[in-house]
Chain A
Amino acid sequence: MEKYISQIAALPVSARVERLKEEMLAEPRFVSIEQARIITRVYQQTEGESPSIRRAKALRASLEEMSIRILPEERIVGNRTPGVRGGVVFPETGASWVDREFETLPTRAQDRFGVHEEDVRAFREEILPYWKGRSLEDRVRAVAGEEVDRVAKVIKINQKDHSQGHICPNTRKWLRLGPAGLRAEAEEHLKNAPADQCDFYRSIQIVMEGAQAFMRRYADLAEKLYAEHAEASLAEVARVCRKLAEQPPETYHEALQATWFLYVILQMEGNASSFSPGRMDQYLFPYFERSMEAGMTLSEALELTECLWLKFNQVVYLRNSNSARYFAGFPIGFNVAIGGQNADGSDASNALSYLFLQAQSHILLPQPNLSLRMYKNSPAELLEAATRVIAKGSGMPQVFNDEAVIPALEAHGVSHEDAMDYAIVGCVELTTQGNALNWSDAAMFNLVKALELTLTGGVDLLTGKVIGPNYGDLTTYKTYEELEAAFARQIDYYADKMVELIAVMDEMHAKCLPTPFLSSVIDDCMALGRDVTLGGAHYNFAGVQAIQVANVADSLAAIRKFVYEEKSVSAEALLEALRSDFSGQEALRQRLIHKSPKYGNDIAAVDDIGAKWTRYFGERLKQYRNRRGGLYQMGLYTVSAHVPMGQNVGASADGRHARDPLADGGVSAMYGRDQAGPTALLKSVSKLPYVMASNGTLLNMKFLPQFFATQAGIDKFTAFLRAFCRLGISHIQFNVLNEADLRAAQKEPEKYRSLTVRVAGYTAYFTELAPDLQEEIIARTSYEAV
């Protein structure tokens, strides 16, 4: 093992990988309607058949017909569009928004895509008319559109126009059985299945036929190219693909290719935000070991790994313009977890953990979203290797803390063994592997807006209109405790509304979007004969994000101090200042900022407010069950949603101007307000109830590169990580950059095309972020260690 570590750290990037990377980055991305045409045609041909059979046939046809491409030098092949990073129009889930926004896709502020004019015409003539009233988006709108809009400033309900993602499938099972084995398993079940389960098993049979055909097509294409190019690796690609259509993988190369096929096909079925490979260093290790024994070199293993790393960057996700602001940078969340523990508590890291870190340090692109699981006895060598990769500034690996995550999962009914084997999906969402539908992004709950309505008696500060219930306002609460009681009622009111609406989404997904392929790799669907959308998974959670602890804590601390304790500002004056967005009240605004304690500085009086309301929200969620019978889980993260969610909130008592972004990340301090340094921030953040936040949390920190310039700096950084672990915080990620980098990147984007930056939770290309997000990143507190 020790021998491996130093050898791996010395491995260079191969010229083949460099060329493939350059080629990929140079290729423009376009909207693709090819699969939309196929799906529409199959639906037209299968009118009257069951939803799961129709979806299965649509997927099989896509796998059989979609154009495919192989580059001569590729060693891992497969994509859902012939071009890289194609924006796939997926009419089953949403066609109306595409119709509304098609022309703006090349020019919108966030996540642009090129558009071929003939595609726009074809979409409107051949595809859109069929889906009017039939897509998930339209059906949701018909059932619950008005109610969703009515509460939108407080609750953002998600999953309205795309499939549910954030799922970690059972890749181990896929590697053990392959499509032929899964098909055989479904056929075996079908022999004795009750009538109402037959379609489920038949649909799995259909999609596995498609999967096998897909692999054979790649084998055929590779053979054809080999005849033209005589590139030796193409012959091997052809052999691997042909084998995988019939048999499970045996070598490391075969296992990597099989893994990638699984994720491409999942995306072709679901077009969902994030299917995550999970603990790849664990389940690929037996294949790696076998190949090493058979003579594979480490540099060959690394090249194959890096070919997969590039692939993870070729599938992106086309969102509507509003959603793209909440989840900027088209994150698709191929989250790969390394390290951590085995079920018995022994260390799980292996040579692949280090190989993946080395691949990350070479590729430095947004995907995969690489996550390190650490715990109190994580090996020093692993932390040091991870630190050296963090120092490169790709924002990865992000770090998850077993000591916080495992107890949180267990507190929500996850078995000890499953909790020890947890992985991460999407950005920072926690999951068990291969047996859960977590519905991680059911909704985002804007606590800061709920607090605003508490102060105004239900009046929206931005419009002056009544949008929520009136339980009193700041001028009628005689004590701080009365204010708190009204805040609690506002939260309860909106939490009830939210749960009703999430149930509608869950139901509509079950009706419109059964997912036979996914269900074949999620336990216990196959055994129960039940689709994952109907509750076939072993674990059935729904996740809601509480947003944003820093603004709530800072605002309430200021109100308590100035209005109720010192009485130095009257309730009327403060409310008026908030209404006018502090117009003519700059001195008051500055006092609110500077003369009241702020979350993130290790000051109990204000940190405790944050912890209290986080706990309150978590307790409230415990009262509900989702439609699939499972619990709700609280999350504390926003991805990039703190910017658009801030635009829904008027001026706040923490001195924030109307429409300004909320604090970033999830548990981070308001930018610029944490002035006692990173240790104080961690102390504040550690006071939140992580055992309740099993849906995932997010803490951003920015370091300048010089911190990592010496061995002493590396050692101090790993000491910082150890303390993070002891403090029981669930997640942390690091931006390593300086302002000059970012300013330069704004001026000359073409020179910084591969500069990546953490937009809270995942990594995006900086130059592809909207200007306000770029500014926001620059504004975040940086910890200069010199």
Chain B
Amino acid sequence: MNGFVFEVKRFAVHDGPGLRTTLFLKGCPLRCPWCQNPEGLHLEPRLWYKEADCLRCGNCVAACQERALALDERVHIDQVACVLCKRCLDACPTGALLLDGREVSADEAEETLLQDAVFYAEGGGITLSGGEVMAQWPFALELLRRMRARGVDTAIETCLLVKQDVLSRFLGLVDHFIVDIKYFDGAEHRRVLGESNELILANYRYLVEKGADVLVRTPLIPGYTATEANIRAIARFVRLTDANARYELLNFNPLCRSKYAALEEDYPVSGQPFSAGEMEAFYAILREEGIANIVRE
């Protein structure tokens, strides 16, 4: 079985307990405007450009037989014209041109996930993330089964937009579910992300009922999710679903702007990370709503 992967992050320290390796799978059903990993949106690989590494030597333009590349002060990619022949990748001396993902076999993915096995003993393990893990759920299940067979601790990061009978298959294979709840209001969720959140909220209830280990996260995005009303509503829902719920607020991180620049796309979020004081105000909401286990890392 093969899957599409866009990144392997070793020494992952924010994707579950202990030291972990996180495998990022491509493909996602949501279209969050603030997406931190635009390379994870689509299954198919795309040509990608790291301007900082570029020598402006023009070797790539010369190597391209499809006229998909142009050079002025930087390299421009015509993604429609590109046929992914990879000639430019070989021609580039610095690796400034690369693909934003690749197809890997389950064997290869397993080997990658086990490279750091020696680091997992203190509660660490592997995490599957995305994109959206569920976009490639058969591949994800295969990897989780293999990890389970080797006794490796497993976590997944998911938005829970998946049919319940698919989710149920993950129950015995995942030690830690890290789930995103972005909006409580269904209309807002549909308006901004393009999908309803009914399934997401129902799936969260389902996981809690099944006794799964769940960490709920909300990304604080200026101009989007980071409103008092939204955070209060999510917190209330989470507490009513699970009195002992663990809930984490993720501060906005603007570093992904450079990815959009590489794609010559505009990043629609213009805010900065929230200050310590602003974060305290959000934490106060969680406390008011009775969240017992506020996770702060």
Contacts and interface: CB of A to CB of B under 8 A. Distances in A.
Interface of A: 586-588, 590-591, 593-595, 602, 676-680, 683, 707, 710, 712-713, 715-716, 718-720, 722-723, 726-727, 783, 785-786
A587 B95 CA distance: 11
Contacts of B105: none
Contacts of B59: 587
A722 B120 CA distance: 10
A263 B119 CA distance: 41
Interface residues of B, number: 25
A727 B115 CA distance: 13
Contacts of A722: 121-122
A679 B296 contact: no
B13 interface: yes
A727 B118 contact: yes
A591 B55 CA distance: 11
A586 B253 CA distance: 35
B124 A590 contact: no
B244 interface: no
B209 interface: no
A785 B20 CA distance: 13
Given A677-B11, A719-B19, A590 B118 contact: no
Interface in B2-56: 9-11, 13-14, 18-19, 53, 55
Interface string B260-297: 00000000000000000000000000000000000011
B10 A676 contact: yes
Contact of A586 (B10, B53, B55, B115): B55
A106 B160 CA distance: 68
A716 B9 CA distance: 16
Contacts of A716: 13, 18-19
Contacts of A726: 118, 121
A324 to B, nearest CB: 36
A712 B17 CA distance: 8
B94 interface: yes
28 contacts: A587-B55, A587-B59, A588-B93, A590-B55, A590-B93, A594-B53, A594-B95, A595-B95, A676-B10, A677-B9, A677-B10, A678-B11, A679-B10, A679-B11, A680-B116, A683-B116, A683-B118, A713-B13, A713-B297, A715-B18, A715-B122, A716-B13, A719-B119, A719-B122, A719-B124, A720-B119, A726-B121, A783-B11
Contact of B93 (A595, A602, A677, A718): A595
Contact of A720 (B19, B53, B123): B19
Contacts of A595: 93, 95
Contacts of B53: 594
B71 interface: no
A719 B123 contact: yes
Nearest to A727: B118
Given A590-B55, A716-B19, A783-B11, A683 B115 contact: yes
A638 B93 CA distance: 32
Contacts of A710: 296-297
B84 interface: no
B57 interface: yes
Contacts of A707: 13
Contacts of A591: 93
Nearest to A716: B13
B116 A590 contact: no
Interface string B238-264: 000000000000000100000000000
Nearest to A380: B122
Contacts of A586: 55
Interface string B75-101: 000000000000000000111000000
Contacts of A718: 122
A591 B59 CA distance: 12
Nearest to A593: B94
A722 B119 CA distance: 8
Contacts of B115: 602, 680, 683
Given A679-B116, A722-B121, 18 more contacts: A587-B55, A587-B59, A590-B93, A590-B94, A594-B94, A676-B10, A677-B9, A677-B11, A680-B10, A683-B116, A710-B297, A716-B18, A716-B19, A718-B122, A719-B121, A785-B13, A785-B14, A786-B14
Contacts of B94: 590, 593-594
Contact of A679 (B19, B93, B95): B19
Contacts of A677: 9-11
Nearest to A602: B115
Query: Top 9 A-B pairs ranked by shortest CB distance?
Result: A719-B122, A590-B93, A677-B11, A723-B119, A594-B95, A587-B93, A591-B93, A590-B94, A679-B11
A711 to B, nearest CB: 9
A713 B119 CA distance: 15
Contacts of A783: 11
A586 B119 CA distance: 38
Contacts of A587: 55, 57, 59, 93
A786 B14 CA distance: 8
Nearest to B95: A594
A712 B297 contact: yes
Contacts of A727: 118
B93 A594 contact: yes
A234 to B, nearest CB: 48
A678 B10 CA distance: 8
A718 B19 CA distance: 10
Contacts of B14: 785-786
A590 B55 CA distance: 9
A718 B59 CA distance: 46
Contacts of A720: 11, 19, 119
Contacts of A713: 13, 297
Contacts of A723: 19, 118-119, 121
A271 to B, nearest CB: 44
A720 B124 CA distance: 10
Contacts of A679: 10-11, 19, 116, 119
B276 to A, nearest CB: 11
A157 to B, nearest CB: 39
A716 B124 CA distance: 9
B252 to A, nearest CB: 13
A591 B53 CA distance: 12
A709 to B, nearest CB: 9
Contacts of B93: 587-588, 590-591, 594-595
A20 B11 CA distance: 42
Nearest to A710: B297
Nearest to B295: A712
Nearest to B296: A710
A677 B119 CA distance: 13
Pick from A593, A680, A723, A783 the residue with the most CB of B within 10 Å.
A723
A94 to B, nearest CB: 47
A56 to B, nearest CB: 54
A400 to B, nearest CB: 19
Nearest to B251: A786
A594 B121 CA distance: 33
A389 B200 CA distance: 44
A676 B123 CA distance: 22
Contacts of B119: 679, 719-720, 723
Nearest to B122: A719
A722 B122 CA distance: 8
A409 to B, nearest CB: 24
A672 to B, nearest CB: 12
Q: Give the residue among A587, A593, A679 with the most B Cβ atoms within 10 A.
A: A679
Residue among A586, A602, A677, A785 with max Cβ neighbours from chain B (10 Å): A677
A591 B95 CA distance: 8
Nearest to A588: B93
Contacts of B13: 707, 712-713, 716, 785
A736 to B, nearest CB: 15
A286 to B, nearest CB: 35
Nearest to B253: A786
A676 B10 CA distance: 7
A4 to B, nearest CB: 25
A676 B55 CA distance: 23
